[in-house]
Structure 1
Amino acid sequence: MKIGFIGFGNMAQAIATGLIENNVTDLTDLIFSNRTESKRKVLETQFNIKGTPHNQDVWNQSDLIILAVKPYQVEEVLTKIDKVHSPYVISVVAGVTNQQLAAYLPESSFIRTMPNLNAQVGEGITAIIENSTAKNELLEQAKKIFESIGTVVELPESQIGPFIAIAGSSPALVFMFIDTLARSAVKYGITKDKAIEIAAQAVLGSAKTVLNSSQSPWNLIDQVSSPGGITVDGILSLLQNDFSASIIQSVDAMVEKNDQLSK
């Protein structure tokens, strides 16, 4: 299957890298568009795949399109394409709904998706938004593509807001947590670089422990918390200072903002 990228920014590049490194497709079956010649040549050399300045070329030569332009560009890009040919379409564009995509793509089977930043290191989580009109072959292709950069969940479109909060935006919260942990250690003489490495590795290992365990995160907390020990005092301090409530309020704020932008 020939896969074309309309738009080839950071997320599209992460997807291309996953496809290439995991041998999901041949290099000769990939093509991307970029209007700037100098940038296009750099990307062609970097990824060893074909580039073109024309979105129409990508559309015509592909069995499956990954739409990865900015949200404000979607209408202009899709209305200018001659759609005599009808490839499958996977959108990774934030905020563009199934209803909007259906208006722009009346003849194409499409799927809306929402990958997150961690796709850039092969540890992403991608939501595939349910679409009853999408063909099964497209759904299977979408799963294969996004499993090359992490894991996949299927969600109804009504749940995209909380997904964005706990997956799309949450890396910023985790980065903030890592930075704060590190700064706390700097207070006691550990260098900032070393403290960041320690904190980041602890977060990475903790995440893997949760994913590999059949126990709930709170049960795992109990395993780390010896009676009368150091960890208990730390946990109690967070509880007394409304740590959980602050996280919930942050998620609520992000869901509310997404709802406002979606109207």
Structure 2
Amino acid sequence: MKRDPKELTLGFIGTGTITEAVVTGLSKTEFRNTRIVLSPRSDSVATRLSATYENVEVATDNQDVVDKADLVFVAVRLQIVEEVVRALRFRPGHHVVSFVAATPLPRLAEWIGQSVRLSQAIPLPFVANLHGATAIFPPDDVAAAIFAPLGTAVQVESKRQYDLIAAASSLMGTYFGILEITSSWMEKRGLPRSAADAYLRGLFAGLGDVTSSRDDICFKELIADHSTVGGTNEQVFRHFSSDGGTDAVVNALDDVLARIEGAATSSVG
């Protein structure tokens, strides 16, 4: 008989920004009473979380996390993941979810050295506020049950699909870059920077609400809904496309995807 995911003990190897965001988000959901065990590596984060939430405790070391947890999240830096994972003793059948990018599951399985239930996920910092989407590969009903309340859980069927999501996640800096360019443009032409920033925050927060509340409509339709024929929105998007903006985005994503797939290949070889 399957256990309710809320009854599992969740363990985190690595206590950086993403672990803090996930634990913070879980505290706002039906998982608020689920036992959580944190590794002590980042003492300030682990100590702060354990002091804030009664269901969170700090383990003596990484092996203590593995020993106590039913589901172990691996959330360490790519540069040290092999060293950390190889040093741990997992149980046969242990459930492990990796947050480490560009590290293929076969290689992780080799380092673990046991037959475990293994998957990958890409939670983003927004899960702390129950926003955003978390990609999961391969599909995993327990991981999906945990991440769905933190925003949206998107399960994919292949490594290629997972890598495409990872590449698309690289647009965050560009998004904020567009806001910075626009705010600077407004300031240089006479609007105080504080007013420009405030307006753009509100504008794009509203657009974010539109995308999250209308999952029955595609982005192409949203372009039409927000671009009156002959209007200024249509004009700006036409300039963006004709001046190479579309090609720049596609080319950048292709380069990032090649980098992700190349890193995965090199880590296997």
Deviates more, 1:1-10 or 1:122-131: 122-131
Instruction: Determine which of 37, 62, 65 is the counterpart of 1:55.
Output: 62
Q: Pick one of 96, 107, 110 that aligns with 2:118.
A: 110
- Please name the residue that 1:240 is paired with: 242
* Amino acid in the other structure paired with 1:152: A
Q: Distance in 1 between matches of 2:40 and 2:159?
A: 30
Range 39-48 or range 235-244, more displaced: 39-48
Q: For 1:187-202, what aligned pairs fall within 5 Å after superposition?
A: 187-202=188-203
Q: CA RMSD in A?
A: 2.3
TM-score by length of 1: 0.86
Classify the secondary structure of the residue corresponding to 1:31.
strand
Distance in 2 (CA, whole Å) between partners of 1:143 and 1:88 is 13
Q: Count residues with an aligned counterpart.
A: 254
Tell me the residue number matched to 1:135.
none
Q: TM-score, normalised by structure 2?
A: 0.84
- Quick check: 1:14–1:149 contact (8 Å CA) kept in 2? no
- 1:91-115 superposed Cα distances (whole Å, 9 cap, x missing partner): 1111111111221232321211122
Q: Aligned match of 1:260 in 245, 259, 262?
A: 262
Contact 1:7/1:67 (<8 A) preserved: yes
Q: What's 1:136 paired with? A: none
Partner of 1:176: 177
Whole-Å Cα distance in 2 between the matches of residues 193 and 15 of structure 1? 32
Match of 2:41 in 1: 35
Partner of 2:27: 20
Q: Is the 8 A contact 1:60 1:85 kept in 2?
A: no
1:134 equivalent in structure 2: none
Query: Offset of 1:228 from its aligned partner?
Result: 3.4
Taking a change above 3 Å as real, the CA distance of residues 215 and 60 of structure 1, as seen in their structure-2 partners, is closer
Matches within 5 A, 1:94-173: 94-105=101-112, 106-130=114-138, 139-155=140-156, 156-166=158-168, 168-173=169-174
Residue 2 of structure 1, CA deviation? 0.9
Gaps of 5+ in 2: 1-7
Indicate how the Cα distance of structure 1 residues 237 and 26 shifts in structure 2: closer, same or farther if over 3 A, else same: same
1:235 deviates by 2.5
Change (3 A) 1:120 1:92: same
Partner Cα distance (1:109, 1:253) in 2: 32
Shift of 1:250: 1.5
Amino acid at match of 1:192: R
- Aligned AA for 1:174? Y
- Pair 173,119 (structure 1): closer, same or farther in 2 beyond 3 Å: farther
Q: Is the 8 A contact 1:35 1:52 kept in 2?
A: no
Query: Match for residue 226 of structure 2?
Result: 224
Q: Which letter maps to 1:20?
A: S
Share of identical aligned residues, percent?
22
1:196–1:79: structure 2 CA closer, same or farther, 3 Å change rule? same
Report which stretch shifted further, 197-206 or 213-222. Answer: 213-222
